[in-house]
Amino acid sequence: MCPAKIAEGETRGYVIPIGGAEEKIQNPVILKKFVELCGGEKARIVIIPTASQLDDTGATYEELFRALGVGNAVSLPIEGRDDALNEVNIAELEKATGIFMTGGNQLRLSTILGGTPIAQAIRRLNSAGVHVAGTSAGAAIMPEHMIAGGSADTLPNENGVTLAPGLGLINKVILDQHFSERNRWGRLMSAIAYNPFASALGIDEDTAVFIAPNNILEVVGSGSVLVIDPAGLQYSSMAEAGSGSALTMLGLKVHMLSSGSSYDTASREAFKP
């Protein structure tokens, strides 16, 4: 699924995957930058807490965004597919200058939102300039191909990752979150072996990539982002590998980026801070 087409005269909004556990109180640099992009005190941020099964997740983010000066922050109670068809929820979303998807379970998020008017509106609004951020599960669902599961602490292998369709807000990258903290190197490498078209991003906690309309992403936060560029891939054993077999992949390029560094997902060039 490709990102929605941009109408003539429009500019796509930022897409902002966050690796989870973003700082919310002491130095919330990621949330502050998102708020500034969305208009500061004039912003209207709509929160989608669907991935979480905690009753207070939406209300918590409403309070956080208001504390950061947002004039209007509202959480949509989307707990099932009926809610994602509700015209009141769709109308609320249409008023947003920023959309924020919380953490939780990305399969819960995709099975409830997938193919619904809410999902279609998120894609359409982003193509019209509305910025979309998501943390943890809310980040996982952003690409065309979503990492839905896979074991940590394992080498890359033929069955090291489970993929599912994502929202398709971005199709030049595939990503994983909580990357260093949960040792997800193996499953991200397995994912890139399945799909060497896209660059792979491993995003640490309290770290985000702000992907601009020109396809250049900037790293913001206290951790790192691992970038795997498969453009020079010379050989992959994925097609011949047996179940659980270790993989051979030759010609990959790897970058490690910290705050202020950037990467062009189109040209695959990395830039220092």
How do the domains of the chain map onto residue ranges?
15-271
8 is catalytic: no
Q: Is 43 helix (H, G, I), strand (E, B) or coil?
A: coil
131 is catalytic: no
Over residues 136-154, the pLDDT tens digits come to 999 999 999 999 999 887 8
Which of these is catalytic: 22, 144, 158, 205?
205
- Look at residue 24 in the predicted model and tell me its pLDDT: 97
205 is catalytic: yes
- Look at residue 1 in the predicted model and tell me its pLDDT: 65
| Contact status, residue 44 vs residue 97, Cβ threshold 8 Å | yes
- pTM, two decimals, is 0.97
Alpha carbon distances (Å) from 185 to 74, 107, 113: 36, 20, 28
Which of these is catalytic: 127, 136, 236, 261?
136
Which of these is catalytic: 131, 145, 178, 255?
178
Over residues 226-267, the pLDDT tens digits come to 999 999 999 999 999 988 888 999 999 999 999 999 999 999
CATH fold label, 15-271:
Rossmann fold (3.40.50)
Over residues 81-92, the pLDDT tens digits come to 999 999 999 999
- Look at residue 155 in the predicted model and tell me its pLDDT: 87
